[in-house]
Protein backbone atom coordinates (compact mmCIF):
# COMPACT_ATOMS: atom_id res chain seq x y z
CA UNK A 1 0.00 0.00 0.00
CA UNK A 2 1.18 3.51 -0.84
CA UNK A 3 -0.22 6.53 0.99
CA UNK A 4 0.17 10.15 -0.14
CA UNK A 5 -0.30 12.63 2.70
CA UNK A 6 -0.78 16.31 1.81
CA UNK A 7 1.74 15.81 -0.99
CA UNK A 8 2.74 19.10 -2.58
CA UNK A 9 5.27 19.86 -5.31
CA UNK A 10 5.90 23.37 -6.58
CA UNK A 11 8.39 24.33 -9.28
CA UNK A 12 9.66 27.91 -9.35
CA UNK A 13 11.60 29.22 -12.32
CA UNK A 14 12.23 32.81 -13.37
CA UNK A 15 9.50 34.04 -11.06
CA UNK A 16 6.93 31.62 -12.45
CA UNK A 17 5.36 29.10 -10.07
CA UNK A 18 4.00 25.78 -11.32
CA UNK A 19 2.08 23.50 -8.97
CA UNK A 20 2.02 19.85 -10.04
CA UNK A 21 0.86 18.37 -6.73
CA UNK A 22 -1.49 20.46 -4.61
CA UNK A 23 -1.93 18.85 -1.20
CA UNK A 24 -2.72 15.41 -2.60
CA UNK A 25 -4.17 12.80 -0.23
CA UNK A 26 -4.61 9.34 -1.75
CA UNK A 27 -4.21 5.64 -1.04
CA UNK A 28 -3.04 3.12 -3.65
CA UNK A 29 -4.21 -0.23 -2.21
CA UNK A 30 -2.06 -3.35 -2.01
CA UNK A 31 -2.55 -5.71 -4.94
CA UNK A 32 -4.01 -3.10 -7.29
CA UNK A 33 -2.55 -1.84 -10.55
CA UNK A 34 -3.34 1.87 -10.78
CA UNK A 35 -3.33 3.76 -14.08
CA UNK A 36 -1.99 7.30 -13.55
CA UNK A 37 -3.57 9.44 -16.28
CA UNK A 38 -3.16 13.10 -17.18
CA UNK A 39 -2.28 15.46 -19.98
CA UNK A 40 1.35 16.03 -21.05
CA UNK A 41 3.05 18.23 -18.47
CA UNK A 42 0.52 17.47 -15.74
CA UNK A 43 3.29 16.08 -13.52
CA UNK A 44 2.75 12.31 -13.77
CA UNK A 45 6.46 11.47 -14.04
CA UNK A 46 7.29 13.84 -11.18
CA UNK A 47 4.63 12.18 -9.03
CA UNK A 48 6.13 8.75 -9.80
CA UNK A 49 9.57 9.97 -8.79
CA UNK A 50 8.27 11.35 -5.51
CA UNK A 51 6.66 7.98 -4.80
CA UNK A 52 9.97 6.29 -5.67
CA UNK A 53 11.88 8.67 -3.40
CA UNK A 54 14.11 9.98 -6.17
CA UNK A 55 12.47 13.42 -6.01
CA UNK A 56 11.62 15.32 -2.83
CA UNK A 57 8.21 16.97 -2.44
CA UNK A 58 7.92 20.61 -1.43
CA UNK A 59 5.84 19.41 1.53
CA UNK A 60 3.87 16.37 2.62
CA UNK A 61 5.09 12.79 2.49
CA UNK A 62 4.79 9.37 0.86
CA UNK A 63 4.34 6.27 3.03
CA UNK A 64 4.69 2.64 1.92
CA UNK A 65 4.49 -0.69 3.71
CA UNK A 66 6.67 -2.49 1.13
CA UNK A 67 9.50 -2.08 -1.37
CA UNK A 68 8.94 0.33 -4.25
CA UNK A 69 10.85 0.31 -7.53
CA UNK A 70 12.33 3.33 -9.24
CA UNK A 71 10.29 4.29 -12.36
CA UNK A 72 10.75 1.31 -14.68
CA UNK A 73 12.76 2.29 -17.74
CA UNK A 74 14.19 5.40 -16.05
CA UNK A 75 17.99 5.45 -16.50
CA UNK A 76 18.75 8.78 -14.87
CA UNK A 77 20.52 7.27 -11.86
CA UNK A 78 23.12 5.26 -13.76
CA UNK A 79 26.73 6.51 -13.74
CA UNK A 80 27.99 7.40 -17.20
CA UNK A 81 31.59 6.31 -16.53
CA UNK A 82 30.66 2.80 -15.34
CA UNK A 83 29.82 0.01 -17.75
CA UNK A 84 26.29 -1.28 -17.98
CA UNK A 85 27.27 -4.40 -16.03
CA UNK A 86 29.02 -2.33 -13.34
CA UNK A 87 25.94 -0.15 -12.95
CA UNK A 88 23.79 -3.26 -12.53
CA UNK A 89 26.17 -4.61 -9.87
CA UNK A 90 25.86 -1.30 -8.02
CA UNK A 91 22.05 -1.49 -8.17
CA UNK A 92 22.14 -5.08 -6.88
CA UNK A 93 24.19 -4.05 -3.84
CA UNK A 94 21.83 -1.15 -3.06
CA UNK A 95 18.77 -3.41 -3.09
CA UNK A 96 20.46 -6.37 -1.42
CA UNK A 97 20.05 -8.92 -4.20
CA UNK A 98 22.57 -11.39 -5.61
CA UNK A 99 24.90 -9.38 -7.86
CA UNK A 100 25.88 -12.19 -10.22
CA UNK A 101 22.27 -13.29 -10.71
CA UNK A 102 21.11 -9.76 -11.54
CA UNK A 103 24.04 -9.13 -13.89
CA UNK A 104 23.30 -12.37 -15.75
CA UNK A 105 19.56 -11.64 -15.88
CA UNK A 106 20.06 -8.16 -17.35
CA UNK A 107 22.62 -9.44 -19.86
CA UNK A 108 20.02 -11.89 -21.19
CA UNK A 109 17.05 -9.53 -20.95
CA UNK A 110 18.55 -6.31 -22.35
CA UNK A 111 20.31 -7.98 -25.31
CA UNK A 112 23.11 -5.38 -25.37
CA UNK A 113 25.86 -7.82 -26.39
CA UNK A 114 29.38 -6.40 -26.07
CA UNK A 115 27.92 -2.98 -25.24
CA UNK A 116 26.94 -4.33 -21.82
CA UNK A 117 30.62 -3.99 -20.88
CA UNK A 118 31.09 -0.52 -22.36
CA UNK A 119 30.65 2.79 -20.47
CA UNK A 120 27.02 3.78 -19.94
CA UNK A 121 27.85 7.25 -21.27
CA UNK A 122 28.35 5.77 -24.74
CA UNK A 123 24.85 4.25 -24.86
CA UNK A 124 22.07 5.44 -27.12
CA UNK A 125 18.74 6.32 -25.50
CA UNK A 126 17.34 2.96 -26.56
CA UNK A 127 20.24 1.05 -25.02
CA UNK A 128 19.84 3.01 -21.79
CA UNK A 129 16.16 2.13 -21.64
CA UNK A 130 16.93 -1.56 -22.25
CA UNK A 131 19.45 -1.59 -19.40
CA UNK A 132 17.08 0.21 -17.04
CA UNK A 133 14.17 -2.05 -17.95
CA UNK A 134 16.26 -5.15 -17.38
CA UNK A 135 17.51 -3.95 -13.99
CA UNK A 136 13.95 -3.10 -12.93
CA UNK A 137 12.48 -6.44 -13.98
CA UNK A 138 15.35 -8.38 -12.41
CA UNK A 139 14.37 -7.35 -8.87
CA UNK A 140 11.20 -8.43 -7.06
CA UNK A 141 9.47 -5.32 -5.71
CA UNK A 142 6.19 -5.07 -3.83
CA UNK A 143 5.18 -2.14 -6.05
CA UNK A 144 6.42 -1.36 -9.54
CA UNK A 145 6.34 2.20 -10.87
CA UNK A 146 6.05 2.27 -14.66
CA UNK A 147 6.56 5.29 -16.92
CA UNK A 148 5.68 4.53 -20.54
CA UNK A 149 7.05 0.99 -20.63
CA UNK A 150 5.37 0.57 -24.03
CA UNK A 151 7.86 3.05 -25.57
CA UNK A 152 10.99 1.05 -24.67
CA UNK A 153 12.89 -0.46 -27.61
CA UNK A 154 11.58 -2.02 -30.81
CA UNK A 155 8.34 -3.94 -31.19
CA UNK A 156 9.82 -7.30 -30.18
CA UNK A 157 11.51 -5.85 -27.08
CA UNK A 158 8.34 -3.98 -26.09
CA UNK A 159 6.35 -7.20 -26.34
CA UNK A 160 8.90 -9.04 -24.20
CA UNK A 161 8.94 -6.21 -21.65
CA UNK A 162 5.15 -6.21 -21.36
CA UNK A 163 5.09 -9.99 -20.92
CA UNK A 164 7.70 -9.91 -18.14
CA UNK A 165 5.98 -6.94 -16.50
CA UNK A 166 2.64 -8.76 -16.50
CA UNK A 167 4.32 -11.75 -14.88
CA UNK A 168 5.93 -9.58 -12.17
CA UNK A 169 2.69 -7.80 -11.29
CA UNK A 170 0.72 -11.00 -10.73
CA UNK A 171 2.00 -10.89 -7.17
CA UNK A 172 2.77 -7.17 -6.87
CA UNK A 173 1.11 -3.77 -7.05
CA UNK A 174 1.90 -1.15 -9.67
CA UNK A 175 1.37 2.48 -10.63
CA UNK A 176 1.39 2.85 -14.41
CA UNK A 177 1.81 5.92 -16.62
CA UNK A 178 0.99 5.30 -20.27
CA UNK A 179 -0.83 6.99 -23.13
CA UNK A 180 -1.73 3.57 -24.58
CA UNK A 181 -5.31 2.90 -23.55
CA UNK A 182 -5.17 -0.75 -24.75
CA UNK A 183 -2.15 -1.31 -22.47
CA UNK A 184 -3.88 0.47 -19.59
CA UNK A 185 -7.03 -1.62 -20.02
CA UNK A 186 -5.02 -4.83 -20.19
CA UNK A 187 -2.79 -4.00 -17.22
CA UNK A 188 -4.67 -1.86 -14.69
CA UNK A 189 -7.52 -2.54 -12.29
CA UNK A 190 -8.20 1.04 -11.13
CA UNK A 191 -7.15 4.54 -12.13
CA UNK A 192 -6.25 8.05 -11.04
CA UNK A 193 -6.42 11.31 -13.00
CA UNK A 194 -3.94 14.10 -12.28
CA UNK A 195 -5.22 17.51 -13.39
CA UNK A 196 -4.09 20.94 -12.19
CA UNK A 197 -2.30 19.47 -9.20
CA UNK A 198 -5.33 17.50 -8.00
CA UNK A 199 -5.52 13.69 -8.05
CA UNK A 200 -8.87 11.90 -8.34
CA UNK A 201 -9.00 8.14 -7.71
CA UNK A 202 -11.43 5.77 -9.45
CA UNK A 203 -12.04 2.20 -8.31
CA UNK A 204 -12.72 1.10 -11.89
CA UNK A 205 -10.16 1.72 -14.61
CA UNK A 206 -12.86 2.40 -17.22
CA UNK A 207 -14.27 5.19 -15.07
CA UNK A 208 -10.79 6.71 -14.88
CA UNK A 209 -10.31 6.51 -18.65
CA UNK A 210 -13.72 8.07 -19.29
CA UNK A 211 -13.03 10.91 -16.83
CA UNK A 212 -9.59 11.52 -18.36
CA UNK A 213 -10.90 11.63 -21.93
CA UNK A 214 -13.94 13.72 -21.03
CA UNK A 215 -12.40 16.35 -18.73
CA UNK A 216 -8.78 16.41 -19.83
CA UNK A 217 -8.99 15.72 -23.55
CA UNK A 218 -12.44 17.23 -24.04
CA UNK A 219 -13.78 14.38 -26.12
CA UNK A 220 -16.31 11.56 -25.71
CA UNK A 221 -14.87 8.49 -23.98
CA UNK A 222 -13.40 5.80 -26.20
CA UNK A 223 -14.97 2.37 -26.31
CA UNK A 224 -12.79 -0.71 -25.83
CA UNK A 225 -12.33 -2.46 -29.16
CA UNK A 226 -13.92 -5.88 -29.39
CA UNK A 227 -13.47 -8.51 -32.05
CA UNK A 228 -16.77 -9.13 -33.82
CA UNK A 229 -16.98 -12.55 -35.42
CA UNK A 230 -19.33 -13.10 -38.32
CA UNK A 231 -21.93 -15.78 -37.83
CA UNK A 232 -21.28 -18.93 -39.88
CA UNK A 233 -23.23 -19.09 -43.09
CA UNK A 234 -26.27 -21.34 -43.01
CA UNK A 235 -26.20 -24.25 -45.42
CA UNK A 236 -28.66 -23.86 -48.27
Secondary structure (DSSP) of 114-142? GGGGSBGGG--HHHHHHHHHHHHHTS--S
- Where in the chain are all domains bearing CATH 3.40.50.300? 1-67+142-222
Fold assignment, 1-67+142-222: Rossmann fold (3.40.50)
Q: Write down the pLDDT at residue 225.
A: 47
Answer whether residue 81 shows pLDDT above 50: yes
Q: How distant, in Å, are the alpha carbons of 36, 107, 118, 147, 205 from that of 187?
A: 12, 26, 34, 13, 10
User: Which region holds residue 43: left if phi is over 0, alpha if psi is between -120 and 50, else beta?
Assistant: left
Q: What is the pTM of this model?
A: 0.80
pLDDT digits (tens, 9 = 90+) for 39-67: 888 899 899 999 988 899 999 999 998 89
Q: Write down the pLDDT at residue 48.
A: 92
Residue 190 sits at the vertex; the CA angle it makes with 188 and 191, to the nearest 5 degrees, is 95
pLDDT digits (tens, 9 = 90+) for 83-118: 999 999 999 998 899 999 999 999 999 999 999 999
Amino acid sequence: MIVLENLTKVYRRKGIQTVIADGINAVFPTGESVALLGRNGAGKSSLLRMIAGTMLPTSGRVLSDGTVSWPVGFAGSFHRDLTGAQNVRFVARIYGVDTDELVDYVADFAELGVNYHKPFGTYSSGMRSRLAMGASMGIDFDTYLVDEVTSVGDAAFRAKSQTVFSDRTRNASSVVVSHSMPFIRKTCTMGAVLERGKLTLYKDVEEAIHAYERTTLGRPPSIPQRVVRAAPAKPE
